[in-house]
Structure 1
Amino acid sequence: MKGLFTALLIPFDENGQIKEEGLRQVVRHNIDVQKVDGLYVNGSTGENFLLTTDQKKFIFETVKDEAKDSVKLIAQVGSLNLEEAVELGRFATELGYDSLSAVTPFYYPFTFEEIKSYYNTIIEETGNDMIIYAIPALTGVAISMEQFDELFANEKVIGVKYTDSNFFALERLRNRYPDKLIYSGFDEMLVYGLLSGVDGAIGSTYNVNGLRSRRIMELCEQNKFEEAYEVQHEANDIIEKVLELGIYQTLKEILNVKGIDAGTTKNPLSSFDPSKRGKVEKLVEDFNL
């Protein structure tokens, strides 16, 4: 379960319906062209929190059917509705997903005991492994080291997707839990995560920039950190331009420019501004995306 995982983009049409053939194309592009080790399905990048339960199931099913066993698959099933999280967890487990993941419960001021119960319930009801999805900037939930102790006490909690810029806490977590999987969740900070000893990375830009990110990982493995930083600088030039244009809209438009039907974003997210297509075409050309 180590390596580079794409947080998978999901193509929608103008009515918010999933484009099945486009989804299959995006899966194939990630596996065959970007050469990723796995797919993280129905996360933030997949616009998960805008979807119905049936749409989420359709995505899990379609991705598994297209990918088969060629890469590792992680199913993000987190939901404010615990019953839905369990239902999705069972569904993905029966499909053969290698692990579940779940964002920490958000919006309401949940106690840690409630958060721990949420994870343990999903695990108990599905029997699958769990990767904690820690993204405090969006959920408002910061997990302390002592709380990680309690979560990791469950042997089915195999790791964490760590989307946080607190690298002191990341170093402490790595030092404390050498046998748990830690994935870097910030694409623009991949090299720093690797220096801190992460086991891999899960990110949205790997849909279009996986090969360059793989190169960063390989250089760090070879202790060629100066070269790795140079590649990270280039990756961040791409990320900076993507953020300026709108992250999910632009990542999809990059794929559309390359002939992959990545569709559009789902309401209430705005669609890509067609007047900016020239900038995307130049981005693809300049960085050989």
Structure 2
Amino acid sequence: MKGLFSALLVPFDENGQIIEQGLRDVVRFNIDVQQIDGLYVNGSSGENFLLSTEQKKQIFQIVSDENKGKVKLIAQVGSLNLNEAIELGKYATELGYDSLSAVTPFYYKFTFQEIKAYYETIIRETGNDMIIYAIPALTGVSMSMAQFDELFQNEKIIGVKYTDGNFFLLERLRKQYPNKLIYSGFDEMLIYGAISGVDGAIGSTYNVNGKQAKQIWDLCQTGKVAEAYEVQHKTNDLIEKILELGLYQTLKEILNVKGIQAGTVKQPMSSLDPAKKDAVKHLVEKYEL
């Protein structure tokens, strides 16, 4: 379960329906071209929180079918509706996903004990392993070292997707829990996670730039940090441009430019401004995507 995982993009048509062949092609592109080690399915990059339960199941099924056991699969099943999270967790487990993941409950000001019970319930009902999805910038939930200590006492909680800029807490977690999986969640900070000893990374830009991300990762593993920084600088130049144009819209358009039917984003997100399409083509050429 170590290495780089793409936070999988999902192609939608103008009516918000999943483009099945497009999704299959995105899976193949990640495996065959980007050569990633795994797929993180139905996370933020998959526009998960805009989807119905049936759409989420459809995505889990298509990805599992197309993957055919080639790379590791993590199913993000987190939901404010605990019954939905359990239903999705059972479904993904039956499909053979290697682990579940779940975003911390958000919007309402849940107590830590409520958050802990949420994870324990999903684990108990599904029987699968769990990777906590910690992304305080979007959920408003920041967990302390003591709270991670309490969660990690559960052997079925095997790690965390750590999308946080608190590198002191990251260092403390790594030192205290060498046997738990820690995934870096910020693509633009991959190098910092790598030199901090994380076990891998999960990111949206790996759908189009996975090969460079693997360069950064591999260079850090062999102690070539200065060389890794040069690749990270180039990667971050690209990420800056993608963010300026619109994150998910631009990532999908990059795939469209490359002949993969990546469709558009799901409303209420806005489709890519047609005036920006030439800029996206320029990115593909300039960064040799």
TM-score of the superposed pair, with normalisation by structure 2: 1.00
**Residue 105 (str. 1) matches residue 134 (str. 2):** no
Structure 2 Cα separation of the partners of residues 152 and 169 of structure 1: 15
Number of the residue aligned with 1:70 = 70
Q: Count matched residues.
A: 289
Number of the residue aligned with 1:33 = 33
**What SS is found at the alignment partner of 1:243?**
helix
What aligned pairs does 1:99-248 form with structure 2 within 5 A after superposition? 99-248=99-248
Structure 1 Cα separation of the partners of residues 238 and 38 of structure 2: 22
Q: Deviations over 1:169-217 (max 9, x none)?
A: 1011101111100000000000000111100000000000000000001
Number of the residue aligned with 2:284 = 284
AA in 2 matched with 1:83: N
Following superposition, the deviation at residue 87 of structure 1 comes to 0.2
Gaps of 5+ in 1: none
**What SS is found at the alignment partner of 1:170?**
helix
Gaps of 5+ in 2: none
**What's the RMSD between the two structures over aligned residues?**
0.3
AA in 1 matched with 2:42: N
Structure 2 Cα separation of the partners of residues 64 and 85 of structure 1: 18
Number of the residue aligned with 2:84 = 84
AA in 2 matched with 1:121: T
**What SS is found at the alignment partner of 1:6?**
strand
Following superposition, the deviation at residue 274 of structure 1 comes to 1.0
Number of the residue aligned with 1:12 = 12
Number of the residue aligned with 1:96 = 96
**Residue 264 (str. 1) matches residue 264 (str. 2):** yes
Q: Deviations over 1:72-94 (max 9, x none)?
A: 00000000000000000000000
Following superposition, the deviation at residue 243 of structure 1 comes to 0.1
**What SS is found at the alignment partner of 1:4?**
strand
Structure 2 Cα separation of the partners of residues 86 and 227 of structure 1: 44
Structure 2 Cα separation of the partners of residues 53 and 263 of structure 1: 21
AA in 1 matched with 2:172: R
Q: Deviations over 1:111-130 (max 9, x none)?
A: 00000000000000000000
Following superposition, the deviation at residue 223 of structure 1 comes to 0.1
Q: Deviations over 1:219-242 (max 9, x none)?
A: 001100000000000000110000
Q: Deviations over 1:250-274 (max 9, x none)?
A: 0000000000000000000000111
AA in 2 matched with 1:95: L
AA in 2 matched with 1:283: L
Following superposition, the deviation at residue 11 of structure 1 comes to 0.2
Structure 2 Cα separation of the partners of residues 93 and 232 of structure 1: 35
Following superposition, the deviation at residue 100 of structure 1 comes to 0.1
AA in 2 matched with 1:267: Q
Q: Find runs of 4+ consecutive structure 1 residues off by over 4 angstroms.
A: none
Query: Identical aligned pairs, as a percentage?
Result: 75
Structure 1 Cα separation of the partners of residues 270 and 150 of structure 2: 40
**What SS is found at the alignment partner of 2:132?**
strand
AA in 2 matched with 1:238: L
Structure 2 Cα separation of the partners of residues 205 and 136 of structure 1: 20
AA in 2 matched with 1:273: D
Following superposition, the deviation at residue 68 of structure 1 comes to 1.1
